[in-house]
Structure 1
């Protein structure tokens, strides 16, 4: 009987989790659209990570919409400025890689670009969790995100593995991407970034 109760509780908890991540994904889509896509994706993603961070740091039963909307509204301008830099850097590196492959054709230049792009990728992995967890000066978010990625390599590797696994999961079950894609992607990234931040903070304590 105890085992049966345990199974029912597990099923209930899983259903509750799925309902919340689907609702959170729905909010992310709606508020991204409300921000006209380009100006909505960064604050919506910041709000998404903020809710998930709250689940890990405080309580899974927080009022999702209230938290999401509060972060979206208060961080709209700041997250957009940072998001434009992230997107701009991504576009810049993409163009540079194409120029390197088609025109420069230097192994060493190409290798250097790949290294810089890898560091950029690591920064992006941790960026939004760092953004919602810390109150930093503008450009320090990039420095702190990269520092967390390099200081906790195991968590960073785990994040990359999760992205690879999610890629194949979404290929096998594309409906998940439609109904809960942003939340399912953000959840493991936020979890490992959160663990990394906590471990670094604990080591800094006297």
Structure 2
């Protein structure tokens, strides 16, 4: 399955037929009026999906630059970022377009990259990774981190219940309930929240991604996010 057209819609090519989805995002003015905020996170562990660990020894780009920084990293080779999987997960990984992982940054294939890019434009950078499968030292070049370059301070501190700060009034460590400001995305579609390091997406982008039906995708309202 691959992306063949991303002008005003994306065509997913698979098998004998092509399916085209209109994914033209609304203007920023329209988005700012009706944008609903979602957190893009990993599916619950009980679903049994593969989970990628960051290979700190093999990677030359620091994990914190991917999960926290908003500076452009621009790796020249997928070997600069390496993630690894447990044995026996190869078949499951091949069926996923979004791979759950240890960093708070979506790890997605080229189809989902095209969806995100259509909405996020300059607010995202795609960082290709080498995925080590641990079966006969195999590797896969299927996924990229969708690194958010647009950061927001979206948390509504008055309505949220923060139990502990890592940095007082700057970085959340423990919480009971998170509430985000209604207009925190300001009409954008893809961002990183500075208080929580969570990836925040608009209702439009979430719906477009879910059209793919990928089981690795998981979105929750901030109020429903659990530690």
Interval of TM-score (by shorter of Structure 1 and Structure 2): under 0.3
| Structure possessing the higher radius of gyration over alpha carbons | 1
Q: Which has the higher helix share?
A: 1
TM-score (norm 2): 0.22
